[in-house]
C-alpha cells in the first residue's frame, strides 16, 4: 500500500493531526481557563508528534514548547498568581525556538501566531483567550498551508469556528445573568 517507511510515518502524522483537531474543537468550549489549558496541553503534544512525522520540525518544537507552557500556566493559575514574567519568558522562548528551527520565510507565521497565543493563554479569562484566537488562527493557518498540514489547516479553521461559538455562547450567558 505504501512505498516506504517515510510515507507511513507521514500518514500516521496526518492522522495524529486529525485526532488533535477533534480534541481541539472542544478546547475553546471549556468554561474555565484551567480546563481550556488541559485540553490545549493535549492538543499541543499531539500536534508536536504530528509535525515531527510530517517533517515540520520548527512547528514540532514550538508545539512541544506550547504544551510545556500550558503546564506552567495551569499551575500558575491554580496558585492565583498573575505574574507577567512567565508569558514574557515563553514568548521569548517561542521567538528563539523559531529562529533556531527556521524553515523559511513562512516560519514567521507560526512564530507570530504562537507568540500571540502564548500571551493570550496567560490570561485567566477564557473569553479573552477566545478573542485572541482571531489573531492566532489566521497566522498559524497560513503556516499550515505552506507545510501541507491537513490536521493543522483543519484545526485552525475549526478552532476559529469554535472560538466564535464560544464567544457568542458565553456572551449570551453573561447578558442573561
pLDDT digits (tens, 9 = 90+) for 41-91: 999 999 999 999 999 999 999 999 999 988 988 888 788 777 778 889 999
**Which pLDDT tens digit goes with each residue over 103-121?**
999 999 999 999 998 888 7
Domain count for the chain, please give it: 1
User: What was the pLDDT predicted at 29?
Assistant: 73
Which of 9-18, 33-42, 120-129, 148-157 shows the lowest mean pLDDT across its residues? Answer: 120-129
User: What was the pLDDT predicted at 27?
Assistant: 78
User: What was the pLDDT predicted at 28?
Assistant: 67
Q: Are 124 and 136 in contact (CB under 8 A)?
A: no
**Is the model's pLDDT at 177 over the cut of 80?**
no
Average pLDDT over residues 131-155: 93
Where residue 138 falls among pLDDT bands split at 50, 70, 90?
A: very high
Domain around 148? 5-176
**Is the model's pLDDT at 38 over the cut of 70?**
yes
What pTM, to 2 d.p., does this model score?
A: 0.83
Amino acid at each position: 500500500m505504501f512505498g516506504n517507511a517515510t510515507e507511513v510515518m507521514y500518514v500516521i502524522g496526518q492522522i495524529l493531526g486529525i485526532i488533535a483537531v477533534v480534541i481541539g474543537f472542544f478546547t475553546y468550549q471549556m468554561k474555565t481557563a484551567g480546563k481550556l489549558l488541559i485540553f490545549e496541553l493535549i492538543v499541543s503534544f499531539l500536534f508536536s508528534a504530528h509535525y515531527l512525522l510530517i517533517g515540520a520540525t520548527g512547528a514540532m518544537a514550538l508545539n512541544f514548547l506550547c504544551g510545556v507552557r500550558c503546564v506552567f500556566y495551569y499551575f500558575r493559575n491554580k496558585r492565583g498568581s498573575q505574574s507577567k514574567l512567565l508569558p514574557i519568558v515563553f514568548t521569548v522562548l517561542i521567538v528563539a525556538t523559531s529562529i533556531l528551527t527556521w524553515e523559511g520565510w513562512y516560519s514567521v507565521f507560526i512564530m507570530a501566531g504562537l507568540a500571540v497565543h502564548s500571551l493570550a493563554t496567560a490570561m485567566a479569562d477564557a473569553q479573552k483567550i477566545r478573542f485572541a484566537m482571531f489573531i492566532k488562527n489566521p497566522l498559524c493557518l497560513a503556516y499550515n498551508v505552506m507545510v501541507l498540514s491537513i490536521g493543522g489547516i483543519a484545526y485552525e479553521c475549526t478552532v476559529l469556528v469554535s472560538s466564535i461559538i464560544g464567544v457568542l455562547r458565553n456572551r449570551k450567558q453573561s447578558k442573561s445573568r
